[in-house]
Amino acid sequence: MINFFYTYQSLFDHILVYALLAMSQYVVLRAGVFSLGTAGFAALGAYGCALLITKAGWPPFAAIVAGTVLGTLASAVLAIPLSRLRGVFQAVATLALVQIVLSATQNWASVTNGALGVNGIPKVAGTGVLLAVVAVVVLMLSAMGRYSVGRAMDVIREDETVAVSLGISVPYYHRIAFILSGLLAGLGGALQATSSYAITPGEFGFGMLVATLAMVVLGGRTSVWGALVGAAILTSLPELFRVFADYRNVVQGILLMLVIVYLPRGVADTAIAILRDRRLRRSTGRASPASVVSSAGSDGGPAVKSSIEAGAPT
């Protein structure tokens, strides 16, 4: 078991980092926001953290916090105008953000080293740190559903008109979703920088944008477990299908098409729904004898009904 872990440790780390990025995408989709800005916020967090460590000499922990704050601030600034947009306009605006950040990392060579990226980043975010961070984020996002914030986002996702009729401020909760998404993406980018020794602009391009969105679609967008399952499946595919390494994108596309057609709610959400149905059937099956006796008592007259309620044999 230990040998297996050390053999695939880098894969585990990659899965955990992408799980954070997928949860960043999950937050906005949960609130009914079509944002594609996760890759841009992750790039800001990664480059901010890496440059502060390698060029400014900051301690790694402080640099990770600063990278997370940078992603959060960028999303907070953009949240105000983006919360007024809807649908494809949100997607285009956030895609423009990704393109701007990617162009800056490639062309601002005096700071970012251009296409060469940033090298010599100390690896301080190991598997244990990544696992702890992912666990905390999962607990926080799961707990959010029990409070008004998560419930309001669920209503907005289902129908904005109903949300407005209930007095829910849709732009306000869209802004919260944008800011949370930027926070998680900035944190994921900073942890990616401090777990891989080096970063390049190509890591935060169109490939990451599509991957994070596909992970949520594959796993399911109504529960946090969907992001985790989607990240585990799509990140592991290149390792599981080495024979089809040249056709990896084709395999991922076919898998997504099959899931969309046959499991439109996603793998994790479908599994959760099946488990809930089974529990409901079991509870209904246990309660059915009592309901049958109650209905028989009501049909059998007042005397029979009173004897059943008193616990006497009929």
pLDDT by residue for the chain (314 residues), tens only, comes to: 676 666 778 889 999 999 999 999 999 998 888 888 899 999 999 999 999 999 888 999 999 999 999 999 999 998 888 888 887 888 888 889 899 999 999 988 888 888 888 998 998 888 899 999 999 999 999 888 788 888 899 899 888 889 999 889 989 999 999 999 999 999 999 999 999 888 999 889 888 888 898 899 898 888 889 999 999 988 887 777 676 667 777 777 788 888 888 888 888 888 888 888 888 888 887 765 554 444 444 444 444 344 434 444 43
Q: How far apart are CA 284 and CA 274, in angstroms?
A: 15
The pTM (predicted TM-score) of the whole model is 0.85
- Of 192, 176, 211, the C-alpha closest to 67 is 192
Q: Would you list the domain boundaries of the chain?
A: 2-205, 271-309
pLDDT at 288: 54
User: How far, in Å, CA of 247 to CA of 241, rounded?
Assistant: 9
Alpha-carbon dihedral sign for residues 255, 258, 259, 264:
positive
Model confidence pLDDT, tens digit, residues 240-260: 767 666 777 777 778 888 888
pLDDT score recorded for residue 245: 63
Looking at residue 311, its pLDDT comes to: 43
* 120-152 confidence digits (pLDDT tens): 899 888 889 999 999 999 999 988 878 888 889
Q: What three-state secondary structure class fits 93?
A: helix
Give the model confidence (pLDDT) of 281-311 as tens digits. 888 877 655 544 444 444 444 443 444 344 4
> Is residue 199 helix, strand or coil?
strand
Residue in this structure with the two tokens 């992603």, named with its chain if needed: 71
Dist CA 156 CA 168 (whole Å): 8
pLDDT score of 302: 45
Q: What is the 3-state secondary structure (H, E, C) of 74-123?
A: HHHHHHHHHCCCCCHHHHHHHHHHHHHHHHHHHHCHHHHCHHHCECCCCC
